[in-house]
Amino acid sequence: MKIGFNYGPVTDGIIGQNKVLYDIWGDTVNLASRMMSTGVVGRIQLPDACVPFLIDHFKLPKRGKVRVKGKGEIVTHFSVERKTPEQIKINIENRAAKKINSTDA
């Protein structure tokens, strides 16, 4: 199984009259689909833009540039495992310390 992940705005709606279906559309969905189709079996692939939102909680090694239909080459990462609660706490504390130090300058 391959999994592609992305985040962002989507359009959603219910379609059909006899067989009603719920669906979502948009660039966010298309890129997630491309992450899946260019991915690797047994891995979750995501675009570089997702990393800042997930890095505190997951190990995200860089895969490198991948040619994506309609987008060209984009940098992608794999989500390989969830970090431990201790690692998450340290990451969040370090980020808070960096934020405080950057406002001192």
Q: Which residues are catalytic?
A: 34, 69
State the DSSP string of 24-47.
EESHHHHHHHHHHHTS-TT-EEEE
Nearest C-alpha neighbor of 45 from the set 12, 11, 68, 26: 68
User: How confident is the model at residue 103, as a pLDDT?
Assistant: 63
Task: Report d(CA 31, CA 60) in Å as an integer.
Answer: 18
Q: How many Cα neighbours within 13 Å face the side chain of 101?
A: 6
Strand 21-25, strand 11-15: pairing: antiparallel
Give the confidence band of 99 by pLDDT, cuts at 50, 70, 90.
confident
Q: Give the pair of three-digit tokens for residue 85.
A: 């609660």
Q: Mind listing the pLDDT tens digit for each residue in 57-91?
A: 999 999 999 999 999 999 999 999 999 999 999 98
User: pTM above the 0.75 mark?
Assistant: yes
Band (96; pLDDT cuts 50, 70, 90): confident
Q: What mean pLDDT is reported for the chain?
A: 93
